[in-house]
């Protein structure tokens, strides 16, 4: 297996400089594994303090928009990102199927497929009962099978059962894999459409997007030549830049915040 090649300090400086010189900059970021280290209990995940500070400063900088673009439901994303009522950070949840914009009151849309979602979620829960370390997360447009705490054989067993259920009952649902998670959703939006929508909404000429996971590659693939795509950690990626972990990304965002504020 070849070693992962991280971007050199000069490469990082070049990316920061390019993003900082945008007329209007959109900084769109995945949450889990990108701003917040991965943890066993999803609702206890929190941004690194350095990442939080950088985002706060970026959101206050002129002609700069910050957004979190996550697979989390909007409700969970608001909670774990500790959104304040006057937050200037846009949220895109459920992989781009729901949005919250600063100043808005209502959080999200209803799910037309709620009956099917509830039925399949309950059946999925029954199917993984007794599989150690496997559990089902309820999501607005579907559900996710978590296997972070399961051994590999149990994880594969649980995934095979859930795959069979959805193939039989909801073959039109979108299937996604992630960090020890297998997710299904009735909605097919992706992080690519979320970034596109945010870019148009704020009129950004440059987008910075960073992510650590397969679903983030949708957004990274959708970036243009003038944008800055960053992969956090290992794994295959189309991103032009790569940093080792959430701490390294937080440092890069801190430098971008300084440059954008003209410091």
Contacts to ligand L263DTV3 from residues 176-195, by CB under 6 A:
178-181, 183
Our finding on whether 213 is near ligand L263DTV3 (CB under 6 A) is: yes
Neighbouring-strand partners of residue 138: 143
* Dihedral angle sign, alpha carbons of residues 39, 78, 213, 172: positive
Footprint of ligand L263DTV3 on residues 84-103 (CB under 6 A)?
none
Q: Tell me if 204 sits within 8 A of 243, measured CB to CB.
A: no
- Give the total of residues touching ligand L263DTV3 (CB under 6 A): 23
Closest CA to 253 of 50, 64, 80: 50
CB of 45: closest distance to ligand L263DTV3 in angstroms? Answer: 4
The verdict on 121 binding ligand L263DTV3 (CB under 6 A) reads no
Instruction: Tell me how far apart the alpha carbons of residues 180 and 90 are, in angstroms, rounded to a whole number.
Output: 27
Nearer to ligand L263DTV3, 71 or 254 (CB): 71
**Least distance to ligand L263DTV3, CB of residue 102, Å:** 19
Give, as one character, the DSSP assignment of residue 35.
T
Nearest approach, Cβ of 148 to ligand L263DTV3 (angstroms)?
4
Q: Angle at CA 92, nearest 5°, toward 86 and 96?
A: 165
Closest distance of CB 31 from ligand L263DTV3, Å: 3
Given the complex with ligand L263DTV3, which of 178 and 254 has the nearer CB atom? 178
* Residues pairing with 232 in the sheet: 243
């Amino acid at each position: 297996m070849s070693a992962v090649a991280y971007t050199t300090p000069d490469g990082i400086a070049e990316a920061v400089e390019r993003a900082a010189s945008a007329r209007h900059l959109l900084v769109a970021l995945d949450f889990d594994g990108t701003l917040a280290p991965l943890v066993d209990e999803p609702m206890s995940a929190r941004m690194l303090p350095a990442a939080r500070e950088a985002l706060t400063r970026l959101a206050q900088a002129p002609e700069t928009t910050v957004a979190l673009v996550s697979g989390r439901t909007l409700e969970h994303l608001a909670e774990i990102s500790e959104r304040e009522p006057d937050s200037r950070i846009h949220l895109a949840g459920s992989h781009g199927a729901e949005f919250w914009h600063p100043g808005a009151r209502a959080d999200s849309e209803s799910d037309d497929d709620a009956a099917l979602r509830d039925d399949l979620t309950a059946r999925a829960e029954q199917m993984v009962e007794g599989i150690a370390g496997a559990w089902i997360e309820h999501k607005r447009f579907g559900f996710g099978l978590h296997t972070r705490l399961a051994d590999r054989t149990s994880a594969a067993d649980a995934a095979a059962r859930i795959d069979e259920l959805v193939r039989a009952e909801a073959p039109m649902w979108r299937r996604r894999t992630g960090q020890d998670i297998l997710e299904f959703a009735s909605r097919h939006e992706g992080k690519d459409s979320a970034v596109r929508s945010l870019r148009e909404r704020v009129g950004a000429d440059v987008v910075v997007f960073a992510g650590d996971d397969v679903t983030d590659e949708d957004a990274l693939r959708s970036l243009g030549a003038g944008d800055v795509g960053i992969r956090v950690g290992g794994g295959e990626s189309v991103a032009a830049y790569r940093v080792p972990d959430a701490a390294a990304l937080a440092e890069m965002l801190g430098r971008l915040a300084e440059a954008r504020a003209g410091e």
